[in-house]
Amino acid sequence: MAIKEVMREELRNSLRMEKGYLAALARLPRGTLVKKLIHKRPYYYLVSRDEGRVRFHYLGNLSEARQQRYAAAKAKRAQYRRLLAQVRQQLKFLRRMLRAKPTV
């Protein structure tokens, strides 16, 4: 039964990874940066969904460094979501395998 113990350990590791990815996603700013030109001047907004509605949060005129930070956060968020999907798929597989009856 050593294989089941290895699978249980992998399940615990996957649950820990899922928790870590969710925490990392919560630390990142929600939404995406949008630039609007009003009277030929740039204004930046953070656009996100809140209770099913699209919300625009005014940020003002941003420096290049802050724009890059928002772009990096968007890329990190996409990466964490991909990793979270993979871990959840792995969790589903492991749970299914641990419930399976042993073959005789």
pTM comes to 0.77
User: What secondary structure does DSSP assign to 46-57, as a single string?
Assistant: EEEEETTEEEEE
| Phi and psi based region of residue 44 (left: phi greater than 0; alpha: psi -120 to 50; beta: remaining) | beta
State the pLDDT at residue 75: 94
pLDDT along the chain (104 residues), means of 10: 86 95 93 90 91 91 89 94 96 88 63
Domain ranges of the chain: 2-99
State the pLDDT at residue 65: 92
